[in-house]
């Protein structure tokens, strides 16, 4: 049997790197022998090389073989201590052989990558991406997912948010992003950064795009806004002409009058509600009556209209029930739901509804058809039959932020700053339009970007004028 010595007996190497050891072989036999050197325990034969591969030794003679070892980078063996065999044997006499151990210490080499499908998504308020996390290293990784956007207005929701990935393995995840879609105009393209982090020093990032379609196409909305503005101007001009004609027909018309020094004060703002018992017969008619306003669906100039859920205009009791979006159409407003912000299970089979509870009393909300206690968190949109100058939305919160979106006649969309009133107390969003910028629609609901948010819509009253 030959005598074999391996120097060093233990080597340390990182994936993608190599090392070498020297093997000294001594012929202890009585005849000339040839000795081949191989390495046992590596996954492939091309990961080592011996120089020279065969040595010829006379009895008592020694020779040296250099063994070069290489550890692959992809896929890398798991980090840890391995035992290899340095096998020296005669190619002619199989019984003439000897194997010595070599300890191979593979060092940790962590690596992580992230992929997303699709890389570009188009939607309204939400979009979903399928993520694939790959552990490119040789140690297990606990990966945490994070997301960001330059404006800081997009919500990121991962399922799961953290995952453990084995060495040289992959793991799936799902990302849902959510942001308020533009009301009108062009599509809004957002660049999002998705980050997979394993500790403080190891991470990988992926850029994806989220293109949001406007809720209302810009062309038709702009046309409607211009048409409304022209209609308001024409009405004002016609009204002025009629007033002048009436003034000219009165006795004393044509006599000199004092010059006007300012704008005459208009009539005080009146809230169109049910008149109190002591009110004279000439007081404003109740909201919802056929004579309220100059024509059905349009409040009288200088008056305000109250949408009160406790007094539905159809004469039915204010109890738990779905209602038509046209219930207050005669008062100049139609209601609808923004289903882009509906929670899972509430995107279909829902309606505007009235609810009556011991905690909140009677209020306007959203609800599932047939089960009004469900799907109460969908934002409600109010579309006015004619432009209005101001709105006042009174609501009750549960400690979560709420937001009011307003849409001007020219198509401009504005979001009032979110408000977080104390739980179980009434609060009001007030907005008075600047001159020349009346409103044609509003939307009220919770301000959360979480697609699973269940903060309810509890509207106690809406006043517009």
DSSP 229-247: HHHHHHHHHHHHHHHHHHH
Contact 465, 432 (CB under 8 A): no
Neighbours of 234 (CB within 10 A): 10
Give the number of other Cβ atoms within 10 Å of residue 398's Cβ: 16
Give the whole-angstrom CA distance, residue 322 versus residue 376: 11
Q: Report CA torsion sign: 359, 362, 365, 371.
A: positive
Domain spanning 295-464: CATH superfamily? Galactose-binding lectin (2.60.120.430)
Angle (CA) 50-51-53 rounded to 5° is 65
Per-residue confidence (pLDDT) for residue 372, from 0 to 100: 86
User: Per CATH, the architecture of 112-212 is what?
Assistant: Sandwich (2.60)
pTM of the model: 0.46
The DSSP string of 362-428 is EEEEEEETTBTTS-----EEEEEEEEESEEEEEEE-SSS-EEEEEEETTS-EEEPPPB-PPTTSEEE
**CA dist., res. 276 & res. 387, Å (int):** 29
pLDDT of 413 reads 85
Give Cβ neighbours of residue 211 (< 8 Å, ≥ 6 apart): 120, 121, 122, 123, 187, 188, 189, 190
Look at the alpha carbons of 209, 214, 219, 222 in this order and tell me if their dihedral is positive or negative. negative
Tell me which H or E stretch contains 66.
Answer: strand 62-70
Tell me what pLDDT residue 417 has. 87
Q: Is 261 helix (H, G, I), strand (E, B) or coil?
A: coil
Q: Alpha-carbon distance 417 to 89, whole Å?
A: 82
| Token pair for 77 | 């063996």
Contact 210, 154 (CB under 8 A): yes
**What CATH number labels 3-106?**
2.60.40.10
112-117, strands of its sheet edge to edge = 112-117, 126-135, 170-178, 155-159
Query: How far is Cα 148 from Cα 159, in angstroms, rounded to an integer?
Result: 16
Domain ranges of the chain: 3-106, 112-212, 295-464
The rounded distance, in Å, linking the Cα atoms of 87 and 48 is 13
pLDDT for 349: 81
Return the percent helix, strand and coil in the chain, to nearest 5: 10, 45, 45
Name 103's bridge partners: 10, 83
Which residue blocks in 273-353 are alpha helix, DSSP H?
none
Fold equal for 3-106 and 112-212:
yes
Given a cut of 50, the residues of the chain with pLDDT beneath it are: 221, 226, 232, 236, 238-239, 241-299
| Cβ-count burial 26-39 (b if 16+ within 10 Å, e if not) | bbebeeebebbbbb
């Amino acid at each position: 049997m030959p005598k074999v010595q391996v120097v060093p007996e233990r080597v340390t190497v990182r994936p993608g790197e190599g090392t070498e050891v020297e093997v000294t072989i001594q012929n202890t036999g009585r005849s000339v022998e040839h000795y081949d050197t191989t390495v046992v325990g590596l996954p492939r034969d091309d990961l080592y090389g011996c120089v020279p591969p065969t040595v010829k030794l006379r009895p008592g003679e020694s020779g040296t073989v250099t063994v070069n070892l290489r550890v692959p980078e992809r896929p890398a063996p798991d980090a840890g201590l391995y035992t290899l065999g340095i096998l020296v044997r005669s190619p002619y006499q199989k019984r003439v052989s000897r194997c010595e151990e070599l300890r191979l210490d593979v060092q940790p080499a962590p690596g992580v990558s992230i992929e997303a499908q699709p890389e570009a998504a188009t939607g309204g308020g939400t979009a979903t991406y399928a993520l694939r996390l790959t552990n490119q290293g040789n140690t297990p990784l606990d990966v945490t997912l994070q997301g960001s956007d330059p404006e800081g207005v997009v919500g990121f929701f991962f399922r799961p948010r953290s995952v453990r990935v084995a060495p040289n393995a992959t793991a799936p995840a799902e990302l849902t992003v959510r942001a308020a879609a533009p009301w009108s105009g062009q599509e809004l393209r957002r660049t999002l950064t998705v980050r997979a982090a394993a500790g403080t020093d190891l991470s990988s990032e992926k850029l994806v795009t989220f293109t949001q379609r406007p809720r209302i196409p810009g062309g038709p909305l702009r046309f409607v806004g211009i048409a409304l503005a022209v209609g308001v101007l024409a009405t004002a001009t016609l009204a002025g002409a009629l007033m002048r004609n009436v003034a000219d027909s009165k006795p004393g018309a044509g006599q000199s009058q004092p010059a006007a020094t300012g704008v005459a004060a208009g009539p005080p703002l009146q809230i169109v509600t049910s008149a109190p018992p002591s009110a004279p017969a000439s007081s404003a008619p109740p909201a919802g009556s056929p004579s309220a306003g100059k024509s059905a669906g349009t409040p009288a100039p200088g008056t305000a209209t109250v949408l009160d859920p406790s007094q539905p205009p159809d004469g039915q009791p204010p109890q738990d029930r779905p209602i038509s979006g046209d219930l207050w159409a005669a008062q100049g407003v139609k209601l609808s739901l923004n289903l882009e912000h509906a929670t899972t299970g509430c995107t279909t089979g829902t309606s505007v509804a009235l609810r009556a509870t011991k905690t909140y009393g009677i209020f306007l909300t959203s609800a599932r058809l047939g089960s009004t206690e469900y799907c109460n968190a969908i934002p409600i949109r109010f579309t006015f039959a004619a432009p209005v100058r101001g709105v006042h939305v009174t609501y009750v919160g549960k400690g979560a932020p709420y937001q009011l979106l307003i849409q001007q006649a020219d198509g401009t969309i504005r979001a009032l700053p979110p408000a977080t009133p104390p739980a179980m107390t009434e609060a009001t969003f007030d907005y008075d339009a600047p001159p020349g910028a009346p409103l044609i629609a509003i939307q009220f609901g919770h301000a959360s970007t979480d697609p699973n948010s269940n903060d309810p819509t509890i509207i106690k009253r809406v006043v517009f004028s």
